[in-house]
Structure 1
């Protein structure tokens, strides 16, 4: 994927050098040298062909690399390392680890509340396939530091896949990036990236009946296992004054 990005950057730079070189050449070559009117020419076929064909070539090159990169970004593997279902609703998140089994045989689920920031735990260095759904209106699943954002549309199942870097361990704030109603700004979550070994321990603790904060606290994470990048908002409007 990085090779494709490098290719697109090189192509863009080549186009920029060509265009600016042509501009400066015209400025120097055809600058005013006196009061005599320069020769007037019309119907210069080579130049007409050049400025007609060149833009199409530029567009074709950019479209080619854009299509390749978008196809690569949207590609889904048949056997991802982790599958997660993202369910958005006004105004919180639910995360379902589709490949895991909880105490009652159901997939391990993490649900947010007004007084609790949900934490999505994922392993570093692994491919993660997301399947998104919305219960009500359009939301948007966004983790700014990981550089990806996808809309969550009611009635439309949106799938996408990312691969987290081996050194991506840490806590990242997640947000809803689509104006979805009154408490849109409060619709946060945290994505906690751990090592593969810690992720397996986390699943085992969740299967044993521990909550996410309890499991993360037992693994030695700070803040007693609760979110560290964001915090719940007070939804009681009577306790707030106008700004």
Structure 2
């Protein structure tokens, strides 16, 4: 049964033009997408196997034990069946354990660090806007930034086929940085310093040019649904030209969205409550 499910779904691909062949996922746009794709495909195979087995048992019982003649006695009613009860207990545990193993394996692949990434971008999520600080800097050497709000969506520019490390910070509440085409999202947790204990950062390489829509995937307040941004994956030349344009426009620096985006609003650095006025 598992082999049949694998054959049925084996022709699916995250790069196929058909939504059905992609199993409802968007066209993949990152080198890390394959890890989530493999987990998603394996989940569908497992679901198909479980569905066929359970539905088959549902059909088998009434067909096997149907009353063929009016005078036939009712089937023997079994109150306890130790083998079946053991199966009902053990089988779900095995399924969950397998899912857990492959989920951890996919997570490790998604979060694998890259030594000396080509670019570092600081992502600031705040109520209710995004700021993208290009820490590598423009030709002048200073960091530059893209910024916007719910009325004027910000743009995140990325160079295709070059690795990017995202460092995520928030000055207020938990947000979540999500670009569906990358098959990856991560919470932006206030008070967590990127890189410390593996918090709030990940690295990936966009491998498909195009314009995508990113969004906040964590309910963060009244304008959560409008906390969107555009992602433009372009050539390296276009990326550098965009940074130069930001520098020329005076968008130099690394805005944090508040006085200190690595601290929790309302708390002192030592974690004690600030005195009320």
> Structure 1 length as normaliser, TM-score?
0.69
Change (3 A) 1:85 1:43: same
Give the structure with the larger strand fraction. Answer: 1
Name the counterpart of 1:133: 169
After the TM superposition, which of the residue ranges 171-180 and 134-143 deviates more from structure 2?
171-180
Name the counterpart of 1:240: none
In structure 1, runs of 5+ residues without a counterpart are 214-243
Q: 1: distance between equivalents of 2:133 and 2:154?
A: 11
User: Residue 174 of structure 1: CA displacement?
Assistant: 3.2
Name the counterpart of 1:50: 87
Q: Does 1:190 align with 2:230?
A: yes
> Structure 2 length as normaliser, TM-score?
0.61
After superposition, residues 101-116 of structure 1 pair within 5 angstroms as 101=138, 103=140, 105-112=141-148
Q: Is the 8 A contact 1:11 1:61 kept in 2?
A: no
After the TM superposition, which of the residue ranges 57-66 and 40-49 deviates more from structure 2?
40-49
Q: Does 1:67 align with 2:109?
A: no
Q: Does 1:96 align with 2:133?
A: yes
Name the counterpart of 2:215: 175
After superposition, residues 68-83 of structure 1 pair within 5 angstroms as 68-83=105-120
Q: 2: distance between equivalents of 1:181 and 1:41?
A: 54
User: Residue 164 of structure 1: CA displacement?
Assistant: 1.9
Q: 2: distance between equivalents of 1:146 and 1:84?
A: 16
Q: 1: distance between equivalents of 2:48 and 2:152?
A: 48
Name the counterpart of 1:163: 205
Q: Is the 8 A contact 1:15 1:58 kept in 2?
A: no
Q: Is the 8 A contact 1:119 1:212 kept in 2?
A: no
SS class of match (2:88): helix
Change (3 A) 1:112 1:53: closer
User: Residue 183 of structure 1: CA displacement?
Assistant: 5.1
- Alpha-carbon RMSD across the aligned residues, in angstroms, is 3.2
SS class of match (1:83): strand
Q: Is the 8 A contact 1:134 1:152 kept in 2?
A: yes
Q: Is the 8 A contact 2:150 2:228 kept in 1?
A: no
SS class of match (1:132): strand
Q: 1: distance between equivalents of 2:160 and 2:89?
A: 49
User: Residue 28 of structure 1: CA displacement?
Assistant: 1.7
Change (3 A) 1:27 1:61: farther
In structure 2, runs of 5+ residues without a counterpart are 1-34, 194-199, 252-277
Q: Is the 8 A contact 2:65 2:75 kept in 1?
A: no
* Cα shift readout 1:61-109 (whole Å, capped 9, x = no counterpart): 2222222223323333233332211112333322112233552x33232
User: Residue 113 of structure 1: CA displacement?
Assistant: 6.2
* Cα shift readout 1:114-167 (whole Å, capped 9, x = no counterpart): 87543211012333221111122333333355554433221124113333233x
Name the counterpart of 1:10: 45
User: Residue 4 of structure 1: CA displacement?
Assistant: 4.3
Change (3 A) 1:154 1:44: closer
Greater RCO (Cα-Cα under 8 Å, separation 6 or more): 2
